[in-house]
């Protein structure tokens, strides 16, 4: 197989995409939300004398693929409202930002970085405004947004939901948890191996709608055959990175991978809402399942 094949742009039919969300075994409400979509330039015909307008090439080639997870935090239903409002705000940005995709992957992609950072901060402002209208409700959420503009992917993170890339036998965690415990480890106050056991391991130092929102944008190449996984901490508190890598190595499809990881998290306690998105474009486009979404339960 020629190594050049990993840089052949995948068609829509080559994509294997799947997302799901689950309330878990303890919580009564699912405050996670996710979105998985592809973006296309499209022509909408409002009137024509042509008898066969439906046969015209009105939808252009895929511009980008968006994957978003948001893990709501807060009392009552505030977290769920924060995560819902965050995804709605981001999608408004998607609908109005086609002009910036041309810069993706170029030396001048500062515009794209700024647009993604701006989208996260717009969501932060929207949640803060909503909370001001409902002062008795605490509203905040994480946000992990992955935008694939082949052969590049841009990951925007606020909070501790994660994004991974698996490629050539290696699993890379592309995001850095924005928690108080991780911050203490970064400063050398506590050892890195004690972060997971710290009482501050799930206390966010940055959140959409929180006291501070500090978006971090990372760019990485996504060759054909790599696997992208987004997950809220309802998964990662139960399944470690080494086991995630093993599951990806043996995956049959994105749906099978997500359902397998979900089942493991539920078996080990399922104390939080669990949300997952998996994406890949196998080389050659073989054995690709259609895009599908798991229902919230």
- Whether the Cβ atoms of residue 67 and residue 165 lie closer than 8 Å to each other: no
Other beta carbons within 10 Å of 138 = 16
In this predicted model, what pLDDT tens digit does every residue of 163-211 receive, in sequence order? 999 999 999 999 999 999 999 998 989 988 888 889 888 899 999 999 9
For residue 239, is pLDDT > 80? yes
Once rounded to an integer, what is the mean pLDDT over residues 233-255?
A: 97
Least confident segment among 6-15, 131-140, 145-154: 131-140
**pTM, whole model, 2 decimals?**
0.91
In this predicted model, what pLDDT tens digit does every residue of 43-95 receive, in sequence order? 888 888 778 877 777 788 888 999 999 999 865 678 999 999 999 999 887 76
- 2 falls in which pLDDT band (50, 70, 90)? low
Structure token pair of residue 15: 């994509």
- Residue 54 burial (10 A CB sphere; 0-12, 13-18, 19+): exposed
pLDDT of residue 74: 67
pLDDT of residue 108: 62
Instruction: Map residue 271 onto helix, strand or coil.
Output: coil
pLDDT of residue 1: 45
- Whether the Cβ atoms of residue 74 and residue 137 lie closer than 8 Å to each other: yes
pLDDT of residue 229: 98
Once rounded to an integer, what is the mean pLDDT over residues 27-53?
A: 87
Q: CATH assignment of 10-38+61-283?
A: 3.60.40.10
- CB burial of 93-106 (b: ≥16 within 10 Å; e: otherwise) equals bbeebeebbebbbe
- Whether the Cβ atoms of residue 143 and residue 86 lie closer than 8 Å to each other: yes
- Cα end-to-end distance, the chain, whole Å: 42
pLDDT of residue 297: 44
Among candidate residues 92, 281, 110, 117, the one with its CA nearest the CA of residue 208? 117
- 103 falls in which pLDDT band (50, 70, 90)? low
Q: What is the mean pLDDT of the chain?
A: 88
- 292 falls in which pLDDT band (50, 70, 90)? low
Most distant CA pair in the chain, distance:
72
Distance in angstroms (rounded) separating the CA atoms of residues 19 and 68: 10
For residue 213, is pLDDT > 80? yes
Structure token pair of residue 165: 């890339």
pLDDT of residue 294: 54
- Whether the Cβ atoms of residue 139 and residue 74 lie closer than 8 Å to each other: yes
- CA R_g for the chain: 20
Distance in angstroms (rounded) separating the CA atoms of residues 233 and 269: 13
Query: Considering Cα of 98, then 65, then 284, then 164, what sign does the dihedral take?
Result: positive
- 245 falls in which pLDDT band (50, 70, 90)? very high
């Amino acid at each position: 197989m020629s190594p050049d094949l990993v840089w052949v742009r995948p068609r829509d039919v080559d994509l294997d995409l799947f997302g799901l969300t689950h309330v878990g075994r303890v919580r009564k409400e699912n405050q996670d939300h996710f979105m998985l979509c592809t973006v296309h330039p499209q022509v909408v015909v409002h009137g024509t004398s042509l008898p066969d307008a439906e046969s015209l090439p009105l939808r252009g080639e895929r511009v980008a693929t968006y994957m978003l997870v948001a893990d709501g935090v807060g009392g009552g239903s505030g977290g769920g409202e924060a995560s819902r409002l965050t995804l709605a705000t981001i999608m408004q940005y998607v609908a109005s930002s086609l002009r910036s995709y041309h810069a993706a992957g170029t030396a001048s992609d500062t515009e794209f970085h700024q647009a993604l950072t701006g989208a996260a901060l717009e969501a932060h402002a929207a949640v803060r405004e909503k909370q001001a209208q409902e002062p008795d409700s605490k509203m905040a959420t994480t946000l992990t947004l992955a935008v694939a503009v082949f052969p590049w992917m841009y990951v925007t993170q606020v909070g501790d939901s994660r994004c991974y890339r698996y490629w050539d036998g290696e699993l890379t965690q592309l995001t850095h948890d924005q928690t108080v415990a991780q911050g203490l480890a970064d400063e050398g106050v506590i050892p890195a191996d004690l972060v997971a056991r710290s009482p501050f391991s799930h206390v966010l130092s940055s959140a959409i709608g929180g006291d501070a929102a500090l978006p971090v944008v990372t760019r990485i190449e996504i060759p054909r055959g790599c696997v992208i996984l987004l997950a809220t901490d309802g998964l990662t508190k139960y399944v470690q990175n080494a086991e995630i890598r093993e599951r990806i190595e043996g995956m049959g499809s994105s749906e099978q991978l997500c359902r397998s990881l979900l089942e493991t998290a539920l078996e080990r306690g399922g104390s939080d809402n669990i949300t997952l998105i998996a994406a890949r474009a196998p080389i050659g486009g073989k054995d690709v399942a259609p895009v599908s979404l798991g229902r919230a339960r």
